[in-house]
Homo-oligomer: A and B are copies of this chain.
Amino acid sequence: MDDTERVAKTEVLLRQVALAITHRGREHLADFNITPPQFAALLELMKNGEITMGELCQKLFLACSTVTDLIHRMEKSGFVERFKDSKDRRVIRLRVLPAGVEVYEDVIRTRKAYLASVLKNLKELEQEQLIVSLEQLHALMKPQE
């Protein structure tokens, strides 16, 4: 394979793998009371702590009107809550509630069980090579994020 062929091959594979991850992810979420965009929001809130609505919109690359709507439904489900910043009462922050942590843990557990069933088809060395390759890819794609 030359450079051009490797790029073309990698482009197709990344698209296929991202799609497979998305589809498997949706299947796993279907068993829980949370939609894929809501789960993406939950992941950001778990990772970044008590961020503002504006920060969440940026991290999700979504319009704030969409995110407001989405957070509203997550509040109804008892996954998150809005609260006023103690230093600046005009700023609204978001925090994850216990029911949100629980659904997060359930989903991650389901995903890990699925991945364990997938990875057992690979040799230990292949599993480790996969991790190395994904780490390299993530490190290279991340900086511009």
Interface residues of A (CB under 8 A from B): 1, 3, 6-11, 13-18, 20-27, 43, 61, 108, 111-112, 115-116, 118-119, 121-122, 126-138, 140-142, 144-145
Contact flag A119-B10 (CB < 8 Å), given A134-B133, A145-B20? yes
Q: Are B142 and A20 in contact (CB under 8 A)?
A: yes
Contacts of A132 in B (CB 8 A): 129
Query: How many angstroms from the CA of A98 to the CA of B135 in the assembled complex?
Result: 39
Contacts of A26 in B (CB 8 A): 61
Query: How many angstroms from the CA of A36 to the CA of B119 in the assembled complex?
Result: 30
Contacts of A10 in B (CB 8 A): 115, 119, 127, 130-131, 134
Query: How many angstroms from the CA of A23 to the CA of B15 in the assembled complex?
Result: 13
Contacts of A145 in B (CB 8 A): 20, 23
Contact flag A18-B16 (CB < 8 Å), given A10-B130, A11-B108, A11-B112? no
Query: How many angstroms from the CA of A23 to the CA of B144 in the assembled complex?
Result: 10
